[in-house]
Structure 1
Amino acid sequence: MSETFGQALRRLRAAAGLSQPQLARLVHADQSAVSRWENDRTSPSRDTVEQLDELLEASGDLARIAFPATLAPTQPLDEPVTSDYVDELRASIANLVKLDGQHGGAELVPMASRMFRTASARLASGNYPSALEADFTATVAELGEVAGWLAFDAMQHERARALNLEALHLARLAGDSSMELFVLGNLALQAQETGQSREALRTVQLMDRFKLSPRLRVMAALRRARAAADLGDERAFSLIQHAQAEVESSVQATDPGWAWWVDRRELRVHEGGMWRAVGRPEQAVDCYADALAAVPRSYRWASYIGGANLVSALVEVRSWAEAERAATEVANLAPEVTSARAGKRLRDAAATARQNRAPSSLENMLTTLAAAH
């Protein structure tokens, strides 16, 4: 049985004659973080893994264990595209998604963008069997969607929009209506988050042209309700409540694989954003707390941005003790997860804390967290 990351780290630390506290000081982490790494409960960020490799003279072994899958297909660029290349591309996509869920995608954006450009160039070259064209095109479209999502969470909005539009075009060429819907949903989310709520609604209208499954109708309703609330439309709340009532029964075996995130937890996150949009942060606190409690333990990125949402709302309602507890949980994840969107929420919370004369301990914690982004 192959050695886990935690087992390898423990072995290498012991071989170097270091205690957990000593290693923690060397990588500017808490001893509890090192303990969690060695027990395979959490994983450090890529930068920290590389630092550990150097400190423990592991010659890259820790990085190879922590990030085992090849992120880029290895077929020479001048050779015709084969089905093996497309399979490797799919494996790379799956690995990007996994790493994003565990650590956030900020560090993955350049890599994912390069992979997409390379795959797009190979697609444009026509150097592949005709029987492979539709599958290859759909796979490159999916890679573009993933790269666009990573760029969006990194708040590289121009790049994210360009990647999403290219992915949308490729999905249409491939006849992949499922991926087309996914990208449209992402574009609507980006428009909403950047203050273009009317553009978000227009994008949702494009989704309505398709024959939507019950679960995808819930997704469209979510995007519509979120944008409508930002525009002050009170009907948005009845729309989100109807979607919440329907979401559990909407799941079907034929749903696209990417629809896994359309669940009650996600709806509660956006309901929280809607309450804040209409000036009711006290209602948002309950939504964010419910959503955060439902995050799977392995989905650290969702815990991180969900925690940032909760902290921001708690600061707005001046619930200082609860805000400090929530901020501590976010701080525990900060060495392992990055998200520019979470960073923005923390910066806004730090500014609100100063304005509302929060306790200095909370203000200092938020300022430190915000500075990390």
Structure 2
Amino acid sequence: MLLTCVDRLLTETVISTGVDVSDFSEAAKAEIKARGLSLRAVAKAAHYDVSFISRVLSGKQKPSIDLAKTLDRLWGTQLVDKLREPARIEQPSPNDYVRNAVAHFLEHDNRHGGDHVASAAKQVWKAEQKKLSSYEDKKRLSDVAEIAEVAGWLLFDANRQEEARQAFIESRHLAQLAGDKPMQWFALDMLAMQDVQSGNPGEALRISEELMTNPRVPGRVALLGRVRHARALALTGDRTRALDAVERAQGALQDSISNRDPQWAWWVDEMEVIGHRGEALISLGDYKGALPHLQRANELVKPNGRGALYYSVAELTALAQVGAWRESETTLSRIGVILESVASSRSRARLKGALRVIERDAPDWLKEHAREAVSLG
């Protein structure tokens, strides 16, 4: 017995108003035409009222899921897929937006350097900090502390050092309010890193000693403190203690891993420690001794990204100082390629120093090659 149109509307599940049914109607009409069927024949086979079928096909009536399934069963089609509501695009929450933005900034920095995302990260940090209505939401405080740290790192790579320091200090302050020890350690490590970059060994030594001697600090964080300590000692000219500190850090690479390590410590690896050993030797004026370590770091670093530019420039700095002109030529060519996709003002500023040495001391053919290979604008 055929159900009337009204009966069907009362007993079937009709699709939601969010679905565009025109695709269903056109596909159904195409099937009917291809099979040489009349509307009455379709209605009879499907046990539907012909007027209902007519209205559906003309777009005056929304089809039901049951009708689509019935026709699919009769014809072996997939008309029901035409009626499935598309997946809703969930609007991200403010916290999701910030997390996604931070992830994007860091990925961009790894691939292309911090110059072009530093201002955006700073803007997100400042905007989120203004939204803090109280200091009672510890999770929110911790999240904003992380944003400040990321902004600080990107500003550091963009060679905007005063702004970077402000961000690191604020990150530590917010982490303290949140009771977030791992983020406090991270901010302290970043401050020590910047002190070394800026030639301020005094504060770097104080911070690194705090990280090294605090019994609550996990092994991986203490190892980082030892690396910063070595770099600061090298700045003071204390070769023996500096190299001893970096030796201890390198020896502790495997033993320092524990389940207490914060998530942010994932990047502390062989490349990091070897690279810092080379940098410490540069600070001590031992450019020849630094080269094997910087070259090893270049072998380990991800090619063509911000890290590759950093270590290539460090290697060129040492090569130029020892007059290794042929090796400098190769490194200059590599740097020229990386600069096409990486913008890191921190590394570019250092590169200018190496180029000045080449311009002053190198043979003419290398000077010409440097001008052709590297354009700093």
- TM superposition score normalised by structure 2: 0.72
Q: Deviations over 1:134-159 (max 9, x none)?
A: 11111110010010011111111111
Match among 210, 219, 239 for residue 214 of structure 1: 219
The answer on 1:316 being equivalent to 2:325 is no
Match among 153, 166, 171 for residue 175 of structure 2: 171
Give the AA of the match of 2:228.
Answer: R
1:256 CA drift (Å): 1.3
Q: Per the alignment, do residues 141 and 370 of structure 1 end up closer, same or farther by CA in structure 2, a change over 3 Å counting?
A: farther
Aligned partners of 1:367 and 1:105: how far apart in 2? 25
Aligned partners of 1:159 and 1:366: how far apart in 2? 32
Give the AA of the match of 2:309.
Answer: Y
1:321 CA drift (Å): 0.9
For residues 357-372 of structure 1, the aligned pairs below 5 Å read 358-367=362-371, 371-372=375-376
Higher mean C-alpha displacement, 179-188 vs 259-268: 259-268
The question of whether the paired residues in 2 share the 8 Å contact of 1:222 and 1:240 is answered with yes
The question of whether the paired residues in 2 share the 8 Å contact of 1:346 and 1:366 is answered with no
Q: State the identity as a percent.
A: 31
Give the AA of the match of 1:138.
Answer: S
Higher mean C-alpha displacement, 177-186 vs 345-354: 345-354
The question of whether the paired residues in 2 share the 8 Å contact of 1:137 and 1:173 is answered with yes
Q: Per the alignment, do residues 101 and 274 of structure 1 end up closer, same or farther by CA in structure 2, a change over 3 Å counting?
A: same
The question of whether the paired residues in 2 share the 8 Å contact of 1:347 and 1:367 is answered with no
**Which residue is 1:5 aligned to?**
none
The question of whether the paired residues in 2 share the 8 Å contact of 1:347 and 1:370 is answered with no
Match among 97, 109, 118 for residue 88 of structure 1: 97
The answer on 1:340 being equivalent to 2:345 is yes
Q: Per the alignment, do residues 118 and 369 of structure 1 end up closer, same or farther by CA in structure 2, a change over 3 Å counting?
A: farther
Give the AA of the match of 1:241.
Answer: E
1:245 CA drift (Å): 1.0
Aligned partners of 2:200 and 2:247: how far apart in 1? 23
Higher mean C-alpha displacement, 276-285 vs 249-258: 249-258
Q: Per the alignment, do residues 202 and 105 of structure 1 end up closer, same or farther by CA in structure 2, a change over 3 Å counting?
A: same
Aligned partners of 1:158 and 1:232: how far apart in 2? 26
Aligned partners of 2:275 and 2:331: how far apart in 1? 16
Give the AA of the match of 1:262.
Answer: V
1:361 CA drift (Å): 3.9
Match among 140, 143, 148 for residue 144 of structure 1: 148
Higher mean C-alpha displacement, 253-262 vs 307-316: 253-262
Q: Per the alignment, do residues 100 and 371 of structure 1 end up closer, same or farther by CA in structure 2, a change over 3 Å counting?
A: same
The question of whether the paired residues in 2 share the 8 Å contact of 1:200 and 1:224 is answered with yes
For residues 204-283 of structure 1, the aligned pairs below 5 Å read 204-207=208-211, 208-209=213-214, 211-233=216-238, 234-283=240-289
Once superposed, what is the RMSD of the aligned Cα atoms? 1.9
1:210 CA drift (Å): 5.6
Aligned partners of 1:326 and 1:275: how far apart in 2? 19
**Which residue is 1:284 aligned to?**
290
1:260 CA drift (Å): 1.5
**Which residue is 2:201 aligned to?**
197
1:367 CA drift (Å): 4.7
1:283 CA drift (Å): 0.8
Aligned partners of 1:141 and 1:311: how far apart in 2? 36
1:369 CA drift (Å): 6.6
Higher mean C-alpha displacement, 299-308 vs 184-193: 299-308
The question of whether the paired residues in 1 share the 8 Å contact of 2:336 and 2:374 is answered with no
Q: Deviations over 1:114-146 (max 9, x none)?
A: 1111000001x34x9x6xx21111111001001
1:205 CA drift (Å): 3.0
Residue ranges of structure 1 left out of the alignment (5+ in a row): 1-73, 76-83
1:267 CA drift (Å): 1.0
Q: Per the alignment, do residues 221 and 182 of structure 1 end up closer, same or farther by CA in structure 2, a change over 3 Å counting?
A: same
Q: Deviations over 1:157-210 (max 9, x none)?
A: 111111111111011111111011011011001111111111111222333446
The question of whether the paired residues in 2 share the 8 Å contact of 1:226 and 1:236 is answered with yes
Q: Per the alignment, do residues 324 and 237 of structure 1 end up closer, same or farther by CA in structure 2, a change over 3 Å counting?
A: same
Q: Per the alignment, do residues 317 and 144 of structure 1 end up closer, same or farther by CA in structure 2, a change over 3 Å counting?
A: same
Match among 115, 131, 137 for residue 124 of structure 2: 115
Aligned partners of 2:234 and 2:374: how far apart in 1? 27
The question of whether the paired residues in 2 share the 8 Å contact of 1:343 and 1:370 is answered with no
The question of whether the paired residues in 2 share the 8 Å contact of 1:172 and 1:180 is answered with yes
The answer on 1:101 being equivalent to 2:101 is no
Residue ranges of structure 2 left out of the alignment (5+ in a row): 1-90
Give the AA of the match of 1:345.
Answer: R
Aligned partners of 1:228 and 1:252: how far apart in 2? 27
Q: Deviations over 1:11-46 (max 9, x none)?
A: xxxxxxxxxxxxxxxxxxxxxxxxxxxxxxxxxxxx
What is the DSSP-based 3-state SS (H/G/I as helix, E as strand, rest coil) of the residue aligned with 1:106? coil
- TM superposition score normalised by structure 1: 0.72
Q: Per the alignment, do residues 333 and 122 of structure 1 end up closer, same or farther by CA in structure 2, a change over 3 Å counting?
A: same
What is the DSSP-based 3-state SS (H/G/I as helix, E as strand, rest coil) of the residue aligned with 2:253? helix
Q: Deviations over 1:321-372 (max 9, x none)?
A: 111101111111111001112112211111111222x133432444567652
Q: Per the alignment, do residues 95 and 227 of structure 1 end up closer, same or farther by CA in structure 2, a change over 3 Å counting?
A: same
Max Rg structure: 2
Q: Per the alignment, do residues 85 and 178 of structure 1 end up closer, same or farther by CA in structure 2, a change over 3 Å counting?
A: same
Aligned partners of 1:266 and 1:103: how far apart in 2? 19
**Which residue is 2:47 aligned to?**
none
